[in-house]
A = this chain, B = another copy of it.
Amino acid sequence: MVKVGILGGGQLGRMLLQAAANYPVETHVLENDDHCPAAHLCQYFTRGDIRNFDAVYNFGKNLDAVTIEIENVNVDALEKLEQEGVTIFPKTAVLRIINNKILQKQFYATNAIPTAAFTVLQSKSEISTWANLLPGVQKLATGGYDGRGVQIIESLQMENLGFDEPSVLEKKIDIKKEISQIVAVGQNGKTVLYPPVEMMFNRRLNLLDFQLCPAPVTKEVLWKVEAIALSVVRHLQSPGLFAVELFVDQRDDVFVNEIAPRVHNSGHHTIEANYSSQFDMLWRIILNYPLGNPSCILPSAMVNLVGSEDQTGDVAYIGLEDVLTIDNAFVHLYGKLQTKPGRKMGHVTILSADKQDLIHKANKIKQTLSVVAAPQG
């Protein structure tokens, strides 16, 4: 049986392993926490730090392939494994680009992929020379994740608050929509595109809040989204599954925001809503099976369940029973024992041919179900 390792044992790993059980594959997980969501669903769990060279190298050296559920891993170790013949999904060259915001923006520029106008900064003192990019978004080259290492620079008056490290400063786009386009790339280079998703974010926590699929966009926007996403993966030159996050501005121009070279929160709905889910698709890529069918079975909405503000401790779900009675809703709780503000604890997907039904139920779920800390005792 093919031996495949996953770096990271969170909910993405958990759902990957649920899908893995449809195929003959020996699964391995590396994660620091014995009780992480994916720990018990693999054949072999290894406790270790995915950012540590030795941990990653030793984990991977007897495997056929390694993939990731988070980018923040030891890429040096993966590169050594790749040189020694372990197939890495995505290729480490892709991780080098993705993990450095400067390289990522330069990749777009070099390959004529539309993205927000930007410059590279070494220190905050340089901001003053880029007034034309303000209001802008400053992003640390490395170390940012899920909203950390990103800030808005509204005007030159804020220069002093800027990050004083290598970073990119990009011009703020007047966003009409945020779209995620998931693309699968097989080992033979064949690609398939999922129907794109429109994402609504909780700006403060920078967490995906609610999404709709297929995204309600015009044909012209859809064509731009697809063309850009295909250009991205053609230039990345790696098999794997890629979530390309894009902005549509008020003039219907489309820009890449960033790329996740892995299964992604914006693809959770594909478990029930698409013939081949993003998790199924990644296994097909890794196992060198034909790519699956990304088409929708039905339109869908997806709601993330995140830990409530000011609630830290043993998790409890309020309103769960009510949500479990919704006819066309699929509840996924990740089995995390502890909640904290903003932590992703689960999601709910709704299927319906009726868009109003999707939006109505997504809102109902957001109002009904909350993730809190259980009372002590």
* Interface of A toward B, CB cutoff 8 Å: 1, 14-15, 17-18, 21-25, 27, 40-43, 275, 284, 289-290, 292-293, 295, 297-298, 315, 320-321, 324-325, 327-328, 330-333, 335, 337, 351
Contact = CB atoms under 8 A, between A and B. Distances in A.
Given A18-B18, A275-B328, A327-B275, A289 B321 contact: yes
Given A14-B21, A21-B335, A290-B325, 4 more contacts: A22-B330, A22-B332, A289-B320, A289-B321
Contacts of A24: 315, 333, 335
A6 to B, nearest CB: 14
Nearest to A21: B18
Contacts of A295: 327
A341 B349 CA distance: 40
24 contacts: A1-B335, A1-B337, A14-B21, A17-B41, A18-B18, A18-B21, A21-B335, A22-B330, A22-B333, A23-B331, A23-B333, A24-B333, A25-B335, A40-B41, A40-B42, A40-B43, A275-B327, A275-B328, A284-B324, A289-B321, A290-B321, A290-B324, A293-B328, A297-B351
Contacts of A333: 22-24
Contacts of A284: 324
A292 B42 contact: no
A93 to B, nearest CB: 28
B40 A292 contact: no
A282 to B, nearest CB: 14
A14 B351 CA distance: 25
Contacts of A327: 275, 293, 295
Contact of A331 (B22, B297, B335): B22
A297 B327 CA distance: 11
Nearest to A276: B330
B332 A289 contact: no
Contacts of A25: 335
A55 to B, nearest CB: 21
Task: List the 8 shortest-distance A-B pairs measured between CB atoms, nearest first.
Answer: A40-B43, A293-B327, A290-B325, A290-B324, A22-B332, A18-B18, A289-B324, A24-B335
A22 B1 CA distance: 26
Nearest to A42: B40
A249 B209 CA distance: 54
Contacts of A41: 17, 21, 40-41
Nearest to A327: B293
Nearest to A271: B22
Contacts of A297: 297-298, 351
A275 B289 CA distance: 27
A17 B333 CA distance: 14
Contacts of A293: 327-328
Contacts of A330: 22, 275
A324 B21 contact: no
A54 B37 CA distance: 32
Nearest to A346: B22
Nearest to A44: B40
A332 B21 CA distance: 8
